[in-house]
Structure 1
Amino acid sequence: MVLEGLKAVLGRFRGRVRIVGQALDATEAQALVTTLDPDVVVADVRLRGSMSGLDLCRRLIEADPGRKVVLLSAYDDEQYLFQAMRAGAAGYLLKSVSGEELVRQLELVADGGKVVDPTMAGRAVASAARLQAGEFWPGAHLSLTQRESEVLGYLVAGLSNRAIAARLVLGEETIKSHVRAIFRKLEVNDRAGAVATALREGIFR
């Protein structure tokens, strides 16, 4: 649905942008990019399969440092933006962006620019300053978002996903998604590994 919606939006601007290929997962996308060599790659942060859009971006940039990748996300969290920039992305835009604005930003990237969703730009600058000064939540230096840091704290305390969901007033599936992101960022495979890393890094004591 997201892919079809994006195609429909971009389809209204045929004189300014042309879709040369599409893929549903990172592996397929990587192969297509190699074959088609597009001017700009637009990728969702969340992709089907084991690789995220951030993982795809890193691989594309490693293969071709000049590759231009714009990430689309539903998350207006500055930490996701910082991760995208560290991965080498040329842009980070929210899915709430209008069609006209999306095309304008893609044109800027095609011309060599870097773009950040306007609604996030000011907050991102402020957060970067706070991060530099060490005024942030536990685990920020490991790219954990504030919510992921909260969830990790409850993992250290031994709470189940259901219990964490109740504490944070969130759905259990949302908590599972945060836990998977924590595992990926801490490069561990299970809760025990996440807890061990948190204690070793001094995130929680």
Structure 2
Amino acid sequence: MKIVIADDHAIVRSGFSMILKFQEDMEVVGLAADGIEAYQMVAKHQPDILMMDLSMPPGESGLIATGKIKEDYPETKILILTMHDDEEYLFHVLKNGASGYMLKNAPDEELLLALRTIHTGGTYIHPKMATSLVREFIHQDQKGAESDPFELLSKREIEVLPLIAKGYGNKEIAEKLFISVKTVEAHKAKIMEKLHFKSRPELVEYALKKKLLNF
């Protein structure tokens, strides 16, 4: 299987590469430092699997990149590797199309199992997180699924939201995302409308709660 590794730490990329180097059925074909580079590597190599960190500051996050890559390259399966054992992260990446979610402190054997499981069409969830996933499904079944306003946001709005929360002005956001100021203003208005906010402090508090400022 052809694999691309995306992580903002070079030493982590090297470590994963060394582990996979000794596997006869695995080949690392590309390395990336953030979500944008991950997208480029997937476009170039068409790998079977993308191993991707969730948070890669200051570049594009794995959460945002997952949605974009699955939309344009659905055949590439994505395994999220992260230090976050937070069920909100788990739910969002699965909804965005990831095939697996595991913690970076897991043993090498678990990583190899996860890759082989995903490659054969399965889904791999770290055992600790799988319990949370089952509990959430049971909770939704019992109480009825209440929609989270966050799910209404588009991929671009998810990019704009943390930048607003960090205090960037419309012009700065436009330059970072290569869009016009008017487009930023439109996204900003939509975000406030969808999340039912009236002020920036509300948005900042929401971004902190959702841990979006790490992205």
RCO greater where, 1 or 2, for CA within 8 Å and sep 6 or more?
A: 2
User: Per the alignment, in what secondary structure is the counterpart of residue 139 of structure 2?
Assistant: helix
| Match in the other structure for 1:66 | 75
1:40 aligns with 2:49: yes
Q: 1:126 and 1:90 mapped to 2: Cα distance?
A: 19
User: Per the alignment, in what secondary structure is the counterpart of residue 34 of structure 1?
Assistant: helix
Q: Give the alignment of 1:7-46 within 5 angstroms.
A: 7-13=14-20, 14-15=22-23, 16-46=25-55
Distance 1:128 1:32, change over 3 A: same
Q: Give the alignment of 1:86-105 within 5 angstroms.
A: 86-105=95-114
Backbone CA RMSD of aligned residues: 3.5
Q: 1:123 and 1:17 mapped to 2: Cα distance?
A: 30
| Match in the other structure for 2:61 | 52
Q: How far apart are 1:117 and its partner, in Å?
A: 0.6
**Structure 2 runs not aligned, ≥5 long:** 1-7, 152-161, 167-187, 206-215
| Match in the other structure for 1:141 | 148
Q: 1:196 and 1:40 mapped to 2: Cα distance?
A: 35
Distance 1:3 1:105, change over 3 A: farther
What TM-score, normalized to structure 1? 0.65
Counterpart AA for 1:105: A
| Match in the other structure for 1:120 | 129
Counterpart AA for 2:98: A
**Structure 1 runs not aligned, ≥5 long:** 145-175, 199-205
Query: Is the 2:9–2:33 contact (alpha carbons within 8 Å) kept by the matching residues of 1?
Result: no
Distance 1:129 1:3, change over 3 A: farther
1:143-162 C-alpha deviation (Å, 9 max, x unpaired): 59xxxxxxxxxxxxxxxxxx
Distance 1:187 1:123, change over 3 A: same
Distance 1:192 1:96, change over 3 A: same
Q: 1:128 and 1:90 mapped to 2: Cα distance?
A: 17
Query: Is the 1:78–1:124 contact (alpha carbons within 8 Å) kept by the matching residues of 2?
Result: yes
Query: Is the 1:26–1:51 contact (alpha carbons within 8 Å) kept by the matching residues of 2?
Result: yes
Q: How far apart are 1:39 and its partner, in Å?
A: 1.0
What TM-score, normalized to structure 2? 0.62
Query: Is the 1:43–1:70 contact (alpha carbons within 8 Å) kept by the matching residues of 2?
Result: yes
Distance 1:74 1:143, change over 3 A: farther
Counterpart AA for 2:139: R
1:126-175 C-alpha deviation (Å, 9 max, x unpaired): 12322444499xx982459xxxxxxxxxxxxxxxxxxxxxxxxxxxxxxx
Q: How far apart are 1:3 and its partner, in Å?
A: 4.0
Q: How far apart are 1:87 and its partner, in Å?
A: 0.3
Q: How far apart are 1:67 and its partner, in Å?
A: 2.1
Distance 1:134 1:197, change over 3 A: farther
Query: Is the 1:24–1:48 contact (alpha carbons within 8 Å) kept by the matching residues of 2?
Result: no
Distance 1:48 1:195, change over 3 A: closer
